Amino acid sequence: MVELHFSFIIPVYNRPQEIKELLDSLTLLDGSFEVVIVEDGSQITCKDVVDDFSKKLNISYYFKENSGPGDSRNFGMNKAKGNYYIILDSDVIVPDNYLKTISKALSENYLDCYGSGDKALESFSSVQKAIDYTMTSILTTGGIRGGKQSKISRSYEPRSFNMGISKAAFLDSGGFGRIHPGEDPDLSIRLRKLKFKVGFIHGAHVYHKRRTDFKKFSQQVYKFGLARPILISRYPETSKLTYWFPFVYSVGLLLGFILISFKLDFILYFYALYNFLIFVDSLVDYKNLKIALFTVLSTNIQFVSYGVGFILSYFKICILKQIPEKTFPKLFFK
């Protein structure tokens, strides 16, 4: 294996304060690396923040017209000098052992593209911690996003909040596509079809702030639901029964409430038990009643929002065979 030279690729849009926290964490890393900041047409730029780190980090800053995070990552990788790119969202904080963990893992089991999990810091808000639990728990997503599964599926799809890709894989694949969200699983699928090795690195988590309120979280996972059937239509071999779970959960919940009027409440007993398990597990994790209650709320927001987006998109894209770019133009950057 050739010697790896790492380049951190970080697109940013109107988030100078978040970039400062991320760059502060990068100064604590051991090893040699460069940092490429791509300002994606922001009205509130982070150039002054980046300039403050010019003597602490090997850092470069580029401003471009707004074209979305996927294209901005491609732009950054084309500008980077390294041969292995580490892609981060601007709202993450990196542990001081991150680069050491990545280097060791790639030297022992090389991956052309890797992903890893995320966690919440103690300083995060109650809502952020609840959303983090919902996105990473074994009880809600199978634990893959948080790296909590003992064995990660062979079809695991790295997410671009914490992801790495070799220069060779980037050049051969063309990088990220125009769809957003959904550009990272789309890239993972194409890389596997090109016979590149894609996988998960345990222990290389970042601290991810995610959305700061439930409304934004609902909008985000709704878009995730819209994007998945588009990917299924492109790559039918990637279809899984598990993608239907949020929709089935939502239908069952609605049916349960309808049946109450007929004095048939047995369905809601199962939902009550499931939500109680989530409440208890979150309470054990965070030892905070408020966070545990928020976790139950965020879990149901995730399932219902994703489920509604999924079935709407599946009906239009997979059944009616509509053109995704015309049906959901807001999911595609030009």
Q: Dump pLDDT digits (tens) for 109-160.
A: 999 999 998 998 998 999 999 999 999 898 998 766 655 544 555 678 999 9
- Residue 61's DSSP bridge partners are 37
Q: Which residues contact 223 (CB under 8 A, 6 or more apart)?
A: 181, 309, 331
Residue-wise pLDDT tens digits, 42-69: 999 999 999 999 999 999 999 999 999 9
- pTM of the complete model: 0.91
Strand 33-40 versus strand 59-64 pairing type: parallel
**Average pLDDT for 169-188:** 96
What single-letter amino acid sits at 44?
A: I
CA dist 282 and 288 (Å) reads 8
For position 250, what pLDDT does the model report?
Answer: 97
Average pLDDT, integer, range 16-33:
93
Q: Any idea which of 28-32, 101-105, 143-147, 319-323 has the lowest mean pLDDT?
A: 143-147
Q: For residue 51, give both structure tokens.
A: 């300039």
Please give the share of the chain, as a percent, with pLDDT higher than 70: 96
Residue at 305: amino acid letter: S
pLDDT at residue number 152: 55
Query: Which comes out higher in pLDDT, residue 149 or 78?
Result: 78
- Looking at residue 200, what is its pLDDT? 93
Q: What does the alpha-carbon distance between residue 297 and residue 304 come to, in Å, rounded to a whole number?
A: 11
